[in-house]
Amino acid sequence: MNSSTVIGRLAERREYGVLGLLLLAVLVVTAVNPTFLAAGNVRNVLVQCAPAAIVACGLTLVIVTREIDISVGSLMGLLAAVMGILTSPQRAGMPVAVGIALTLVLGAAVGFLNGVLVVFGRVPSIIVTLGMLTALRGLTEVLMGGEWITDLPPALRFFGTGTMLEIPVSLWVAAVVIVCSMALARKTRLGLRIYAVGGNPAAARLAGLSIRRTKLFVFTLTGFLTAVATVVGVTQLSVIESEIGVGFELLVVTCVVVGGTSISGGTGTIVGSLLGVLLLGTVRTFLIFLRLGEMSTYWERAIQGAFILAAVLLDHVARRRERAEP
Amino acid sequence: MSKMEGTILSDEQHAFGEFKYWHEAVLAALLVALLLTAGLADPAFLSARVQTELSTHVWELALLALPMTLIIITGGIDLSVGAMMALCAVVLGLSYEAGISPWVGAVFALLTGIAAGAINGMFVVWVRVHPLIVTLATLAAYRGMAEGISLTRPISGFPESFAVVGRGHVAGVPIPGAIFAAAALWAAIVLGRTAFGRSVYAIGNNEAAAYFSGVAVSRIKLWLYAMSGAAAGLAAVLFVARRNTAKADIGAGMELDVITAVVLGGTSIFGGRGRIVGTLLGVLLIHETREFVSWRWDKDELNLIVIGALLIVSVLLNSIFLRRETE
């Protein structure tokens, strides 16, 4: 083991575990349907995973600081509606660049609002984001007025469906986000602060670290990344409607928790969350391949829930074994 | 020991003089203000006929709010109540379809609820996972199960004899209302007058201290989550009886209403304080707000915004006043 701390060793072990599960899942799916490993299919799975991967980078850091954000799905819905309304020629008809810029700003602003309520309002993040989850969904429905937006300009759809050098734009964007997030988490003082605040808030405060600014940052970042995910994810569809993003927060939280980030804060890596995203993406494809039809969507949610429970059970067992050496 | 006794009452005693029910008084005033505004905007809303009709919607919410109050007092939370309700409803519907009497089906539904709640409790107590994560997971798991085993088909056609549970009256009082009144009374007595209730407050105030004082923390918590499941089962039975339909999307978003009602009612999300009376007022406020918004603007989306904002604002205000009292 490379790490000298218990937490470090656990984290390492956990990531290998998720990687193992992922490989197992890929093997099973390929056995059932060999076309899974075809290049085109792999690319499709990765493109579908991109939005979750992008948001997971931010959400991992939020959970590391001992907070949570379950409003990302509703925020995505709202941002999708806003993006559609701004760029659709039948409505505001703004240039795509302006529409995207405004969407990014709005995402960051909502994330910032969440942070303000948590940090300054001292409202627990579960309450803030639970309220936001509902209020934003309602706002989205009011904005959409029960209609669909179907005339998205091609320049906008490029982000979801276009390619650069044969690789989909969404994967480029995801890669950039992932690399930057990993660098942030491991190499910068801000990253260190994030883990310190989550690992031992009292010590962090005594050491003079600004817990408030750190938490404000991670919430704003998550809002911003949700906007990024909206731009590359929602544009894969040809229709924008008010149900977009429902259940997305559960998916991302599942990926993060399964990937080894502990709800009690202080530990968790972006790599782990990414493995979690890939694992869940593979499971979803598996369900589709089983040709269950509609059933796959019903059981998908149940499976996500079961995954979280299994992940925390595993954590518990691992921790007990660690504690067995007094 | 005296510290524990003190904490139950001292907050209210030191702030604003000796009156213990300030929060409830403010709530009552808000409720009156809301009803007055509603009445001014549309007098028909306040008529007895309309109010009794609308009251049929509230019993499930009210029932679920009772165990939720106790759970939140212990510092926990249960996000899965809506999903548990759906699962129980589906069990009831499917067993009726299989030819089993709806009364027996109702018992099955109740048992399902207790089991589902107990699973929540076991993960919280034995696996030591934060109730937030557990119930977030079971929220998905139970909802998914309900959808999966029912294939999202609605099941209806329940006999009149069964529907009377949801729609009937006894001595002028709606049956679900009577059931709720009994449950509320029981909950209030347990919370306010028994050792069990004192233990609940103790756990919320300082779980470690409670544990070392001999409070059966694990058993109590397990029981509370199982009770929440039982309430979900009961609510499911009432709902299916009233609406004559069992479907997997029942209770979607219910957890938000319940938690908002409880928190609005003065129960601190951090645990350690809260009263059934407050919860009742919170339920009434949520109910009247919802019904008025639906009545006046006929748009469910507005309700989402209002209730979501209400949740955040109520905890915000709570946290501001809490700070003032403890400083």
A101: left (phi over 0), alpha (psi -120 to 50) or beta: alpha
Beta bridge partners of B246: B155
Cβ–Cβ below 8 Å for B312 and A132: yes
* The pLDDT of residue B2 is above 70: no
Helix (H) / strand (E) element for B213: namely none
Q: Residue A116, exposed/middle/buried by CB under 10 A (0-12, 13-18, 19+)?
A: middle
**Residue in B closest to A124 by C-alpha:** B269
Question: What integer pLDDT is reported at residue A9 of this predicted model?
Answer: 57
Cβ–Cβ below 8 Å for B136 and A250: yes
Average pLDDT over residues B135-157: 89
* The pLDDT of residue A236 is above 90: no
The 3-class SS string of B121-154 reads HHHHHCCCCCHHHHHHHHHHHHHHHHHHHHCCCC
Q: How far apart are CA B74 and CA B262, in angstroms?
A: 13
Asked whether the beta carbons of A234 and A258 are under 8 A apart, the reply is: no
**Is some CB atom of chain B closer than 8 A to the CB atom of A301?**
yes
Asked whether the beta carbons of A154 and A96 are under 8 A apart, the reply is: no
* The pLDDT of residue B324 is above 60: no
Q: How far apart are CA A281 and CA A22, in angstroms?
A: 10
Q: A293 CA to chain B: closest CA distance, Å? A: 11
Neighboring chain B residues of A123 at a CB cutoff of 8 Å = 312, 315-316, 319
Q: B160 CA to chain A: closest CA distance, Å? A: 32
Residues 6+ positions from B113 with CB-CB distance below 8 Å: B84, B85, B87, B88, B229, B230, B231, B232, B233, B234, B236
Which segment of A13-22, A171-180, B195-204 scores lowest on mean pLDDT? A13-22
Banded model confidence at residue B69, pLDDT cuts 50, 70, 90:
very high
Q: How far apart are CA A53 and CA A61, in angstroms?
A: 13
Please name which of B60, B59, B138, B85 lies closest in space to residue B252, comparing C-alpha atoms: B85
**Is some CB atom of chain A closer than 8 A to the CB atom of B147?**
yes
B71, B79, B302, B311: best to mutate for the A interface, most A CBs within 10 A: B311
Q: How far apart are CA A80 and CA A51, in angstroms?
A: 13
Which segment of A43-52, A176-185, A211-220, B12-21 scores lowest on mean pLDDT? B12-21
- DSSP string computed for A269-301: -HHHHHHHHHHHHHHHHHHHHTT-TTHHHHHHH
Question: What integer pLDDT is reported at residue A273 of this predicted model?
Answer: 93
**Most confident listed range (A13-27, A105-119, B294-308):** A105-119
Cβ–Cβ below 8 Å for A308 and B136: yes
Residue of A133, A134, A301 with shortest CB distance to B140: A301
Question: How far, in Å, are A71, B90, B142, B158, B250 from residue B238 at the CA level?
Answer: 31, 13, 19, 12, 12
Cβ–Cβ below 8 Å for B315 and A308: no
Where would I find the H helices in B151-216?
160-167, 175-193, 195-205, 207-212
Residues 6+ positions from A179 with CB-CB distance below 8 Å: none
Domains annotated for chain A, with CATH where assigned, are 50-246 (1.10.3470.10)
Cβ–Cβ below 8 Å for B133 and A133: no
Q: A162 CA to chain B: closest CA distance, Å? A: 34
Helix (H) / strand (E) element for B245: namely strand B245-246
Structure tokens at B152: 């999202």
Which residue's structure tokens are 């009256």? B169
Please name which of B121, B132, B127 lies closest in space to residue B259, comparing C-alpha atoms: B132
Asked whether the beta carbons of A128 and B312 are under 8 A apart, the reply is: yes
Q: B315 CA to chain A: closest CA distance, Å? A: 6
Q: Residue B84, exposed/middle/buried by CB under 10 A (0-12, 13-18, 19+)?
A: buried
**Residue in B closest to A146 by C-alpha:** B301
Cβ–Cβ below 8 Å for B127 and A128: no
Structure tokens at B112: 């399902």
Cβ–Cβ below 8 Å for A123 and B319: yes
Question: What integer pLDDT is reported at residue A76 of this predicted model?
Answer: 96
Asked whether the beta carbons of B235 and B64 are under 8 A apart, the reply is: yes
Q: B143 CA to chain A: closest CA distance, Å? A: 7
Please tell me the pTM assigned to this model. 0.87
**Is some CB atom of chain A closer than 8 A to the CB atom of B263?**
yes
Domains in chain B, number: 1
Question: What integer pLDDT is reported at residue A66 of this predicted model?
Answer: 92
Question: What integer pLDDT is reported at residue B150 of this predicted model?
Answer: 86
Q: CATH no. for residue B154?
A: 1.10.3470
A120 versus A295: the higher-pLDDT residue is A120
Cβ–Cβ below 8 Å for B256 and A136: no
What mean pLDDT value characterizes chain B? 86
The answer for B 82-111 residues in CB contact with A (under 8 A) is: none
Helix (H) / strand (E) element for B155: namely strand B155-156
Domain range for B145 is 2-326
Where would I find the H helices in chain A?
6-32, 39-64, 72-87, 96-119, 125-144, 154-161, 169-187, 189-199, 201-206, 211-233, 248-258, 270-289, 295-323
pLDDT in tens, B80-133: 999 999 999 999 999 988 888 888 999 999 999 999 999 999 999 998 888 988
Complex ipTM over 0.90: no
